[in-house]
Amino acid sequence: MTAYHIFTPDDALRFADRHSELFGDHSKLSAVEFGDGNLNLVFRVSNDKGTSLIVKQALPYARCVGESWPLSTDRARIEAEVLQQHGRFCPQHTVEVLHFDPALSAILMEDLKQYQILRSELVKGKTFAHLASQMASYLAQTLFYSSDFVLSGPVKKAAVARFINPELCLITEDLFFTDPYCNHERNTIHTLILPRARQLWQDEELQAEVAALKADFLSKPQALLHGDVHSGSIFINADNCKVIDAEFGFYGPIGFDIGSLLGNLLLNYVACPGLFAPEQAEQQQAYLLAQIRELWQQFAAQFSQLMASETQDSALQNSRYQQHFLQQVLADSLGYAGCELIRRTVGLAHVADLEKITDASKRAEAELRAIELGRALIMQRAQLAQMDAVLSLVQQFA
């Protein structure tokens, strides 16, 4: 076993060649580092016949900050194991892991070069009819099959322990639930919306609801989450979509993964008038509303069907309990979507959907819509029992 060292492109090339039969004659391999993420190194290793694989390596620190922000390389194990588990439950929509080396914290995986990052496509005004139905399947299958509905008590507890991910969870605990609601030095806030951000720091009603959502994030191990389902973690093309980058995975509330995706669709929704001419903005917003409706409908239908047919525990087979469970998942999802809208506007990590709006006053208007919609979703999540009511609310922020 080779001891940990930070890969050069040449190291990544040899790692890929050693652990794959795909390349054959390895004298003509080449490698480049091309990661655009915040935390890790990502290499593409290719041969001269167009065959390629991806090598992702965790650094002992956060790439975007440097050595002053140490971070355990165990996140590569979490990422590899979450992707492998999710790959068993939903191979169609999970990037395939070919090899994982724990000492090198390096993952060899399929190259999704036939796909594009969803966020970039949405920012360009591209839409995909299959997005919601495919992501609904991904969420229903990965979340159901890792939950108490199928796992026995002891097996579930062993799984929870295996996916304890304290350092990356702490990043979410801070950036998602804490920083946006106080004057924290990590926050990045454009001047035009500073007055509105300051109101968030005084908003005790909102802070109480965010505290409840954070408490659930800390202590509701319902299923093995991906933990970072934003639209930069989804690759898509005309036929399919696949999820990558599961290093934030842990056992948490099901609504967190659904809410992260909903929140990212809504970030694009509020950005549309700043990104596009009026007619295109209207069309894209209509598309997003339809996708949001379908995402929840199909998730709920599939999860209900799985609960009805595959639940092992006899007490959890109770159909009234199952209905109540799904209702709570919807409320949680709306709450976490609201948190995502707010933290991407006033927190540390912003999104291209808003940042690509070139006109500063239009961008500020979009950011204010994100904050108001986020707040409304968080505050009203328990009353918004039907998707129709959610969509009417969203339309007030067109």
Rg over CA atoms, the chain: 21
Applying CB under 6 A, among 244, 261, 352, 370 the residue interacting with ligand ADP is 244
Q: Does 245 bind Mg ion (CB under 5 A)?
A: yes
Of residues 28-47, those binding ligand ADP (CB under 6 A): 35-40, 42
Binding mask 197-236 for ligand ADP (x = CB under 6 A): -----------------------------------x----
* Binding-site partner at residue 117 among ligand ADP, Mg ion, none, CB < 5 to 8 Å by type: ligand ADP
Q: Which is nearer to ligand ADP, 39 or 272 (CB)?
A: 39
Of residues 66-95, those binding ligand ADP (CB under 6 A): 95
Helix, strand or coil, per DSSP, at residue 372: helix
Q: CB-based burial of residue 204 (10 Å sphere; 0-12 exposed, 13-18 middle, 19+ buried)?
A: exposed
Minimal CA–CA distance to 269: which of 366, 146, 124? 366
Q: CB-based burial of residue 130 (10 Å sphere; 0-12 exposed, 13-18 middle, 19+ buried)?
A: middle
CA distance 280 to 230: 23
Smallest gap from residue 257 Cβ to ligand ADP (A)? 16
- Are 285 and 394 within 8 A, CB to CB? no
**109-117, 153-161, 176-184, 291-299 -> range binding ligand ADP (CB under 6 A):** 109-117
Number of residues that bind Mg ion (CB under 5 A): 4
Q: Does 121 bind ligand ADP (CB under 6 A)?
A: no
Smallest gap from residue 299 Cβ to ligand ADP (A)? 23
* Binding-site partner at residue 95 among Mg ion, ligand ADP, none, CB < 5 to 8 Å by type: ligand ADP
- Are 39 and 64 within 8 A, CB to CB? yes
**10-18, 116-124, 197-205, 321-329 -> range binding Mg ion (CB under 5 A):** 10-18
CA distance 163 to 66: 25
Smallest gap from residue 349 Cβ to ligand ADP (A)? 10
- Are 15 and 27 within 8 A, CB to CB? no
**11-19, 25-33, 106-114, 199-207 -> range binding ligand ADP (CB under 6 A):** 106-114
**Total Cβ atoms within 10 A of residue 373:** 23
* Binding-site partner at residue 244 among Mg ion, ligand ADP, none, CB < 5 to 8 Å by type: ligand ADP
Q: Is 350 left (phi over 0), alpha (psi -120 to 50) or beta?
A: beta
Minimal CA–CA distance to 268: which of 393, 131, 119, 373? 119
Smallest gap from residue 17 Cβ to Mg ion (A)? 5
Applying CB under 6 A, among 31, 59, 117, 213 the residue interacting with ligand ADP is 117
Applying CB under 6 A, among 247, 257, 294, 353 the residue interacting with ligand ADP is 247
* Binding-site partner at residue 9 among ligand ADP, Mg ion, none, CB < 5 to 8 Å by type: none
Write out the H or E segment, with its range, that includes residue 30.
strand 30-33
CA distance 314 to 326: 18
Q: Which is nearer to Mg ion, 17 or 332 (CB)?
A: 17
Q: Which is nearer to ligand ADP, 112 or 123 (CB)?
A: 112
Smallest gap from residue 352 Cβ to ligand ADP (A)? 11
Instruction: Name, in order, each residue with C-beta under 8 angstroms of 394's C-beta and a sequence gap of 6 or more.
Output: 266, 269, 289, 292, 373
| Beta-bridge partners for 107 | 56, 100
Smallest gap from residue 211 Cβ to ligand ADP (A)? 28
CA distance 328 to 319: 14
Applying CB under 5 A, among 4, 9, 33, 37 the residue interacting with Mg ion is 37
Token couple for 249: 């995975």
Segments in 19-147 forming alpha helices (H): 74-89, 118-124, 131-145
Point out the residue whose Cβ comes nearest to ligand ADP. Answer: 37
For binding to Mg ion (CB under 5 A), which residues are involved? 17, 37, 245, 247
- The residue ranges that bind ligand ADP (CB under 6 A) are 35-40, 42, 54, 56, 95, 109-113, 117, 232, 244-245, 247
